[in-house]
Amino acid sequence: MQMKLLDQSWPIRGTFTISRGSRTHAKVVVVELHQGSYVGRGECVPYARYGESIESVLAELAPLAVQIEAGLTRRQLQSLLPAGAARNALDCAFWDLECKQSGQRIWQRLEIAEPAPLVTAFTLSLDTPERMQQAAIENAHRPLLKLKLAGEGDVERVAAVRAGSPDARIIVDANEGWDEALYLKMVPELVKLGVEMIEQPLPADNDAALEHLPRPITLCADESCHDRSSLPNIIGRYDMINIKTDKTGGLTEALALKAEAEKVGLQVMVGCMLATSLAMAPAFMVAQNTQVVDLDGPLLLAEDRQPCIAFDESKMNVYPAALWG
């Protein structure tokens, strides 16, 4: 078996802004595993918030070429690399290769039911209330909108979106941009505006305060939740976790995290970084039978790889085997 590494850049439709900055391109790393006539692929998004970059992920993966040629397995990989983007791409490439070599779809390999189409949230980038309202009007037909927030002015942003899309369900993502005082100010107003969930309101290293703060709206851990080792600090602070394969280090750990979270009574959201359909496909499997699906990455890109996941507006259809798994 041989490994090939690719770094790619995919243009975003316009500019995507969150509390930590703006981007015009989604930069990804793709791992290809070649064995005979079979090729397995996996895609990841290095994330600076976690100390990752295209260069650091390539540097993590490149030394494994010799071990892969010597027969490294997906199970051995789990303890060889930490949870994160690099392991995600390689883990998903292993799964894809297993499917192609066996002639089975991923759900057959996992011995679970064939997946069903999913309805994903659609993300509105952080902007002025006026521009976010216009974006809400343009996407008022979508059943679930996710708003990127930042701090001061957030009530005005949510109110503008609610006015622009009165019938949509709304969830919000603060990306660690609030403090306790702002949380206490924001939450009663968001209750009035019908917000159903708040994602990562406080910084991950300062979220213990959530143990004593009121939680009239479901709170979801994102930056505070990576893999199963995160769960002890999440119980009692959050009601839901956001599982992303780039955080868990692949489909293998994502499925294990989902099972463990459900066992301890946490709700599950499955999210994504800005990436192509190749990155969404493994997450699509994790997202089956979860409370919130946020896999709109390809909808935010100006173009997607082919073949890709077919979207009917916000509905994700089951993807072709030629894409992944």
Place of tokens 């280090």: 249
Residue 100 annotated among the catalytic residues of the structure: no
CA separation, residue 144 to residues 15, 74, 136, 295 (Å) = 21, 35, 11, 12
CB-facing half-sphere around the CA of 249: CA atoms within 13 A: 21
Cα gap 147→124, rounded to integer Å:
5
Cα gap 52→50, rounded to integer Å:
6
Residue 192 annotated among the catalytic residues of the structure: no
3-state secondary structure of 108: helix
3-state secondary structure of 179: coil
Catalytic residue among 27, 100, 146, 148: 148
Burial status of residue 65 (CB atoms within 10 A of its CB: 0-12, 13-18, 19 or more): middle
Catalytic residue among 244, 258, 263, 315: 244
Bond before 307 cis per omega within 30 degrees: yes
Cα gap 3→13, rounded to integer Å:
31
Cβ 166 vs Cβ 186: under 8 Å = no
Cα gap 173→21, rounded to integer Å:
14
Which secondary structure element, helix H or strand E, spans residue 65, and what is its range?
Answer: helix 65-69
Q: How far apart are the first and last CA of the chain?
A: 18
Place of tokens 């490439």: 93
Structure tokens belonging to residue 321: 């085997």
Active site (catalytic) residues: 148, 244
